[in-house]
Amino acid sequence: MSAAALDTVAVPQAASLPQTERVDFDYKPIPVSAPVSAVLGLCSLTAFLPTVGVIGFLIAAAGLVTAFTAWRTIRRHDGAGLWMVALGGLLSLTGLAGGATYHSIAYANELPPGHTRLDFTADIAQRALAPTGRYSEAIKRLDGEKVFLKGYMYPEAKTEDITSFIFVKDSGECCFGGKPKVTDMIRVDMTGTTTDFTAGLVSVAGTFELRPEGNQTEVDPIFRIKATQSGPARTSF
């Protein structure tokens, strides 16, 4: 090829070369704390359940903290997932505030008129006997009083239309084969009504009685309640 022919060959200019198309990815990261806050928010609604109570409040508080942390992370790094954070925060706030309100109202209205609220462990089991092994003065003052307390039903053969059952202070003694001490259990006799077996926390209202001293055994409860009311507890407090 001659030099003149070479001069006529069109050489592509750099500007005319095809350019690779640039693809922009509009990706925003979602922090792990965002979905976690949503899950905690859902779980926090268990604060409304009578037997969960405090645990539900702790979950709700953790959900609020996690939602706030996720919100700060998203704002700082221009991330995504705000809707999950908003959902988790709202549910956690509902569980915390709504659950507290529900339990407060239930606690204020669960006590039958004329009854004294007692703590099974602190007011009965731990104060039942004096160092001499006889009834303490504190427990004697409860004899014949109308009381209201919470505990657990010791499982027996019958589960419906129960007229009498053993009432114990904690779930370890009723659910895991434990042998309650005589001061940790109460014989409940229903008067004018019956009840059904409940695996969870139970409330009982009725007249508290002491077995006469000298008639105690290691098997039979030394306390008795002639109960007019028994059923699932409305609160865990």
Residue-wise pLDDT for 193-212, tens only, equals: 999 999 889 999 999 999 88
- What confidence score (pLDDT) does residue 3 get? 46
Residue type, 47: A
- What confidence score (pLDDT) does residue 179 get? 73
DSSP state of 227: E
Say if 18 falls within a structural domain. no
User: Which domain-ending residue is among 80, 109, 138?
Assistant: 109
DSSP state of 25: -
- What confidence score (pLDDT) does residue 170 get? 85
For residue 186, give the 3-state DSSP assignment: strand
Same domain, 167 and 202: yes
- What confidence score (pLDDT) does residue 67 get? 96
In terms of Cβ atoms closer than 10 Å to its own Cβ (0-12, 13-18, 19+), residue 46 is middle
Task: Take residue 218 and report the two structure tokens written for it.
Answer: 């290691």
- What confidence score (pLDDT) does residue 12 get? 52
* 156: CATH: 2.40.50.870
User: Which domain-ending residue is among 64, 91, 109?
Assistant: 109
Task: Take residue 208 and report the two structure tokens written for it.
Answer: 């508290």
Which single residue is written with the structure tokens 């507290």? 100
For residue 182, give the 3-state DSSP assignment: helix
User: Which domain-ending residue is among 77, 109, 141?
Assistant: 109
The count of other CB atoms within 10 Å of the CB of residue 114 is: 9
- What confidence score (pLDDT) does residue 17 get? 46
Task: Take residue 61 and report the two structure tokens written for it.
Answer: 């508080």
- What confidence score (pLDDT) does residue 174 get? 55
* Close Cβ partners of 55 (under 8 Å, ≥ 6 residues apart): 46
Residues of the chain with pLDDT under 70: 1-26, 173-178, 214-219
Measured distance CA(167)–CA(223) in Å, rounded: 10
DSSP state of 209: E
Please check whether residue 33 is in contact with residue 68, taking contact to mean a CB–CB distance below 8 angstroms. no
Measured distance CA(154)–CA(124) in Å, rounded: 17
> Which structural domain range is residue 177 located in?
116-232
> For residues 92-111, b (16+ Cβ closer than 10 Å) or e, as one string?
bbbbbebbeebbeeeeeebe
- What confidence score (pLDDT) does residue 50 get? 79
* Close Cβ partners of 134 (under 8 Å, ≥ 6 residues apart): 213
Total number of domains in the chain: 2
Q: pTM here?
A: 0.73
Say if 10 falls within a structural domain. no
- What confidence score (pLDDT) does residue 9 get? 47
- What confidence score (pLDDT) does residue 101 get? 92
Say if 19 falls within a structural domain. no
For residue 1, give the 3-state DSSP assignment: coil
- What confidence score (pLDDT) does residue 87 get? 97
Say if 20 falls within a structural domain. no
Q: What is the pLDDT of residues 97-135, one digit of tens each?
A: 999 998 999 999 999 999 999 999 999 999 999 888 899
* Range 125-132, long-range pairs (CB < 8 A, 24+ positions): 125/169, 125/181, 125/183, 125/184, 128/183, 128/222, 128/223, 129/183
* Close Cβ partners of 120 (under 8 Å, ≥ 6 residues apart): 149, 150, 151, 169
